[in-house]
Amino acid sequence: MIRFENLHKSYITGSNKLHVLKGINLEIKEGELISIMGSSGSGKSTLLNITGILDNYDEGSYYLDNMLISNMSEKKAAMLRNKYIGFVFQSFNLISFKNALENVALPLYYQKVSRKKRNLIAMEYLEKMGLKEWAHHMPNELSGGQKQRVAIARSLITRPKVILADEPTGALDTSTSYEVMEIFKEINQSGITVIIVTHEDDIAHRTNKIIRLRDGLIESINGELVNPEFVETEISEHV
């Protein structure tokens, strides 16, 4: 579903060049439930942005559903995001002046689905999230968990191939976090690839595969070291 080959990315700020991704090689198969971990600055957000076609990369290649994603117009990128990817964010990112239903229906608006039809579909997804009664509430009338469930409904409404979740439980308490993770599991069981970026171990352990990033490289997958160069430091840290 997703394949990175020797992916490089640098940010240039003024005269400084910050090399963030230093050659990522990774394959994520369809239907996987994966977490990406790493300290801040490890490159995990950058990797997520590139995966979500929100950012471009400098070197290497990125295949999404066997399609090379590279140097495309903003319009094309927007179209692909809409079709293939559902986003879930730490701060929910609901549009404050739209009610739950309208928020969920928004991605279909950009697919030119008629108003009536998309509201019908949105209601269906809200019902799946147990939020039918809250459909006409504004985001500020919802709890954190409810907001995140609205956001998840929004990410699912276009029937994407991949869900990208950036710290989806970062703003939630533990029990709500676990509820949200259960939802992700269910989604995953319906065949959708789910990638969760997190720095919480207990959240990561509820996924099937944990990928650790460090200094722009993959350090380990499910605890197995991938890049030999980290062996030394790994040992020295443990000593």
Partner 1 sequence: MSKLKLVNMFDIDKWQEIFNTIKKNKLRTFLTGFSVAWGIFMLIILLGSGNGLQNGVEYQFRDDATNSIWLYPGTTSKSYKGLQANRRIKFTNQDFDNLPHKITAIKDMTARFYIPGKVNVSYKNDYGAFSVRCVHPAHQVIENTHIIEGRYINEKDLNEFRKVAVIGKNVKEGLYKDENPIGKYIRINNIEFKVVGVFTDSGGEEEMRNIYLPISTAQKIFNGQNRINQIMLIPKTENVEETKAMAQKIKKYMAKKHKFDVTDDNAIFIRNNLEEYQNVMMMFLGIDIFIWVIGIGTIIAGIVGVSNIMMIVVKERTKEIGIRKALGASPSSIMGLVILESVAITSFSGYIGMVLGVGLMELVSSLAGNSVFFRNPQASIGIAVAATILLVFSGIVAGLFPARRAAKIRPIVALRDE
Q: Can you tell me the distance from the alpha carbon of 155 to that of 117, in angstroms, rounded to the nearest whole number?
A: 17
Query: In angstroms, what CA-CA distances link 216 with 39, 93, 165, 224?
Result: 11, 27, 19, 17
Nearest to 37 by CA among 235, 229, 232, 221: 221
Question: Does 11 help bind partner 1 (rule: CB under 8 A)?
Answer: no
Question: Does 83 help bind partner 1 (rule: CB under 8 A)?
Answer: yes
User: Which one of 12, 14, 75, 239 is in contact with partner 1 (CB under 8 A)?
Assistant: 75
User: Which one of 3, 98, 137, 199 is in contact with partner 1 (CB under 8 A)?
Assistant: 98
The footprint of partner 1 on this chain (CB under 8 A) covers a number of residues equal to: 32
Question: Does 168 help bind partner 1 (rule: CB under 8 A)?
Answer: no
Q: Which residues contact 101 (CB under 8 A, 6 or more apart)?
A: 119, 122, 123, 126, 135, 136
Place of tokens 């992916």: 7
Q: Which residues contact 233 (CB under 8 A, 6 or more apart)?
A: none
Phi/psi at 53 (nearest 5 deg)? 55, 30
User: Which one of 5, 23, 31, 90 is in contact with partner 1 (CB under 8 A)?
Assistant: 90
Q: Can you tell me the distance from the alpha carbon of 23 to that of 6, in angstroms, rounded to the nearest whole number?
A: 4
Question: Does 97 help bind partner 1 (rule: CB under 8 A)?
Answer: yes
Of 17-25, 62-70, 102-110, 185-193, the segment contacting partner 1 by CB under 8 A is: 102-110
Question: Does 18 help bind partner 1 (rule: CB under 8 A)?
Answer: no
Minimum separation from the CB atom of position 206 to partner 1 (A): 22
Question: Does 68 help bind partner 1 (rule: CB under 8 A)?
Answer: no
Residues that bind partner 1 (CB under 8 A): 49, 52, 54-55, 74-75, 78-79, 81-83, 87, 89-91, 93, 95-98, 106-107, 109-112, 115, 154, 158, 166-167, 170
